[in-house]
Amino acid sequence: MSYLVVLVAVLTRFIPHMPDFSPVFAALLFGGAQLKRRDVIWYPVALLAVSDFVLTTWVYRMRMGWGQNIIWLAFAVVALVGYWLRKHESVGSVGFAALAGPTVFFVVSNFGAWLNGHMYPATWDGLVKCYVAALPFYRNSLLATVVYTAVLFGANEIYCRRHDGIATAAHAH
């Protein structure tokens, strides 16, 4: 089921939504916590890479550059934050992860955008301008991640409690 959750979250990138308000980071956190260990990074990042390719080259008719690798690295780091949740899952740690995931992505991806050198000068001032310009996107991704993380982890908890209750009742008979 967690594989389907990640796939559906990635597919939502193809439907109209507010800028940077998508379930992708929440799905990376959820997938990190729920997917098989061997699939935590490659599965969601491969799906995101394919969707990036389709969106960038076919939908937006742009070229992909080497900087895209930094975006995928940032996605992988968010999945690793989710993986950390496996041994630390609580309301507080899931809340922390919902804040940490988009924050890590913001820091890594914008550093990559600055490093790319196309939009901002390779100076301290250029780096600061890069991060300041990205703040509106960060706000939306942070809000979306908090909302969707609560939904995904909350729904999973409800499902597990109901499923465990049914399994426990079945074993009692």
* Domain containing residue 86: 2-172
Q: What is the pLDDT of residues 93-138, one digit of tens each?
A: 999 999 999 999 999 999 999 998 889 999 999 999 999 999 999 9
Q: What is the pLDDT of residues 7-46, one digit of tens each?
A: 999 999 999 999 999 999 999 999 999 999 999 999 999 9
Is the CA virtual torsion 37, 161, 12, 21 positive or negative? negative
- 139-157 average pLDDT score: 96
pLDDT at 173 over 50: no
Collect all residues with Cβ–Cβ distance below 8 Å to 110 and sequence separation of at least 6.
130, 131, 134
Question: How many domains are contained in the chain?
Answer: 1
Smallest CA-to-CA distance from 113 within 62, 59, 61, 74 is with 74
- 162-171 average pLDDT score: 60
**Two structure tokens written together for 64:** 């992909």
Q: What is the pLDDT of residues 36-82, one digit of tens each?
A: 999 999 999 999 999 999 999 998 888 888 889 999 999 999 999 99
pLDDT at 166 over 70: no
